[in-house]
Amino acid sequence: MCGIVGYIGKRNALPIVVEGLKRLEYRGYDSCGVASLFHGELSVEKMAGKVVGLQSLLAKKRDNPIIAIGHTRWATHGIPDKTNAHPHLSQSGEFAIVHNGIIENYRVLKKGLEDNGYVFSSQTDTEVIVALIQTLYKGNLEDAVGNALKHVTGAYGIAVMTKHEPHKIVCARRGAPLVMGIGTDEYFVASDVAAIIQHTKQVIYLDDGELGILTSDGVETLACDRESISKDIQHLTFDVEAIEKSGYEHFMLKEIFQQPQTAFDSMRGRLNVKDGSAHLGGINDHIGSILHADQRYITACGTSWHSALIGEMMIEQFARLPAEVEYASEFRYREPLVDNRSVIFAISQSGETADTLSAIEEGKSRGATTLGIVNVVGSSIARATDAGVYIHAGPEIGVASTKAFTSQVAVMSLLTLKLARLMGMSKKDGIEIVEAMQRVPEQIESVLNQSDVIAEIARTYSKASNFLYLGRGVNFPVALEGALKMKEISYIHAEGYPAAEMKHGPIALIDEKMPIIMIAPKDKTYAKVMGNIEELKARKGRVIAIATEGDKEIAKIADHTIYVPATLAFTAPMVNVIPLQLLAYYIAVEKGCNVDQPRNLAKSVTVE
Ligand code: F6R
């Protein structure tokens, strides 16, 4: 999704802003640009395509500006070409803006401005903001920005400059993230800390309705009435290495291989071995509400929705508490049965997904308690919810989510354990689960050690047009997640089904060209799943079994077998998903796909 970077200081702003834009490439974009102020003149360089092209354009410039704003655009209004790329200049050329988000009433605003003689040059919604700023400017940029935004409905994170105040960037946010970075005699604004972490770890997150002013002397935050407000400076806890490939060919591969550590980090300090329970400090005060709620919803999108499904199954099975999973995008519009006796969990890696944020707002407006299960610290969902638990997976750069999934499931498992113990699970059973959870990092490691076997299978099937993923119980959402990974990064059509459901329709698809990934651990449905494999083989399907170590029987009927360590149902998803991530990865590499930035996808989807 779109990215913003701005800089004011003593150094040449252009390479700093361009480097920041490169750090945001993972979010997905189709055009880019930068505006800078040099000797009192605003100039803009922009283009369709990647930042590396912009870099070549800028290499020809002799300017040494100390102030600039840049943008990567993911097209919403207007095709991804140079004209629609940001920054946008006002008609007079005096103001430049970059914008993330969507202005919902831009048509009405545009018509009004055109009626008054304003001439627009792009098809974007963004241009109306800079037009309003130009119209309302009376010598003070923050006043013009604040007044312009009063006319606007929708979501925005913006950064604005004017030639009239050449030592100032004004930024503002509503519904799209923005953070100001404080360096030594230099200041930054960005939509994602990844863009500025190499320069500073001291940041101020803007909240909705706030304005930020960056000058060469410092930063200031204003409330919507333009009163100065004092905000806490936050210290970022990760290093620039966390957002680099560190020798791996792709971020996705690095993140898959990080999972022994990230799964451990999600559980660190949260398992109570002696008591066979879990400790989740962030939601401690809300445990009573969760236990006594009339409804428990878990809402999310995409991969996070798969974690939600696993959470629902575990909470019902082990804590014996009913829970319901909702697509966040559907929640708001189906008049959900939510009131002040409801608890809504929102799961999100980025913490910025617009659909999930809307679901939270819907819940809040009906009086529900909202709890976030989020990766990105300080993100919009983390701040919009009443309380929550961070999953501590560290920055996830590959667009296809991997390590966030295992960490989300780890936190759902901790939550289940905590609730289950309070609902009567015995201490002995609790201790057994704690011990199983402690084994997860090494079990993930042992699957990663088979990456060569999986890469070989990937080579065999890289030309397939379809894949079917089957699993039962908690392995059904794992099957869905495996299919989603395959679709996202290799563009191969893939479907996930509960294994037994296969005979109610999908079996019609089976022939010798159909690879079927069958998640078949030795659990209580094993015999039934073996029957399903026979049915598939009778129709010449090509079966790739994910089986429990030591299971020789399955290897006799499956075409390929990938072994995973024996686990409890409680911890199975975290281990069984690993071969599916690797298979999707190696097939995408084999096909020459852009693994880290798959076509049409964005890392955080900040539009509904
Ligand atoms: C899948 C993927 C998406 C996200 C979804 C929700 O690999 O990345 O399906 O899971 O867009 O994003 P978050 O978790 O950031 O709310």
User: Which segments of 474-571 does DSSP mark as H helices, in order?
Assistant: 475-490, 526-538, 552-557
Q: Which of 244-248, 340-344, 548-552 has the lowest mean pLDDT?
A: 244-248
User: Which segments of 541-601 does DSSP mark as H helices, in order?
Assistant: 552-557, 572-590
Whether 349 is in the pocket of ligand 1, judged by its Cβ within 6 Å, is yes
Alpha-carbon distance of 34 to 44, in angstroms, equals 6
Domain ranges of the chain: 3-242, 245-438, 450-608
Q: What average pLDDT does range 380-387 have in this prediction?
A: 94
Atom of ligand 1 nearest to the CA of 302: 9
Q: What average pLDDT does range 332-341 have in this prediction?
A: 90
Whether 355 is in the pocket of ligand 1, judged by its Cβ within 6 Å, is no
Alpha-carbon distance of 544 to 546, in angstroms, equals 7
Distance, C-alpha 74 to centroid of its chain: 15
- Alpha-carbon torsion (525, 530, 535, 541), positive or negative: positive
User: Which segments of 3-83 does DSSP mark as H helices, in order?
Assistant: 13-23, 51-59
Spatial contact of 576 and 564, defined as CB atoms under 8 Å apart: yes
Residue 301, pLDDT score: 97
pLDDT beyond 80 at 1: no
Determine the residue of 26, 255, 303 to mutate for testing ligand 1's pocket, defined as the one with the most ligand atoms within 8 A of the Cβ atom: 303
Q: Which numeric CATH code is attached to 3-242?
A: 3.60.20.10
CATH fold of 450-608: Rossmann fold (3.40.50)
pLDDT band at 62 (very low <50, low <70, confident <90, very high): confident
Q: Say if 245-438 and 450-608 have the same CATH topology.
A: yes
Residue range 391-446, pLDDT digits in tens: 999 999 999 999 999 999 999 999 999 999 999 999 999 999 999 999 999 999 99
Give, in degrees to the nearest 5, the angle at Cα 157 between 154 and 162: 115
Percent over 70 (pLDDT), the chain:
100
Whether 350 is in the pocket of ligand 1, judged by its Cβ within 6 Å, is yes
404 Cα: distance to centroid of ligand 1 (angstroms): 9
579 Cα: distance to centroid of ligand 1 (angstroms): 19
Percent over 90 (pLDDT), the chain:
87
Tokens of 590: 């084999």
301 Cα: distance to centroid of ligand 1 (angstroms): 6
Atom of ligand 1 nearest to the CA of 356: 16
Which sequence positions are flagged as catalytic? 2, 603
Q: How many CB atoms lie within 10 A of CB 270?
A: 21
By residue count, the chain amounts to 608
Residue 210, pLDDT score: 96
CATH architecture of 245-438: 3-Layer(aba) Sandwich (3.40)
Alpha-carbon distance of 115 to 131, in angstroms, equals 13
Residue 604, pLDDT score: 77
Residue 603, pLDDT score: 78
Which of 79-88, 412-421, 494-503 is predicted most confidently? 412-421
Atom of ligand 1 nearest to the CA of 376: 15
Q: How many CB atoms lie within 10 A of CB 55?
A: 18
Residue 416, pLDDT score: 98
Whether 605 is in the pocket of ligand 1, judged by its Cβ within 6 Å, is yes
Strand residues in 332-465 grouped as ranges (E): 342-348, 369-374, 387-390
Residue range 108-138, pLDDT digits in tens: 999 999 999 999 999 999 999 999 999 999 9
Residue range 579-597, pLDDT digits in tens: 999 999 999 999 999 998 8
pLDDT beyond 80 at 606: no
Determine the residue of 309, 349, 406 to mutate for testing ligand 1's pocket, defined as the one with the most ligand atoms within 8 A of the Cβ atom: 349
User: Which segments of 80-215 does DSSP mark as H helices, in order?
Assistant: 106-115, 127-136, 141-149
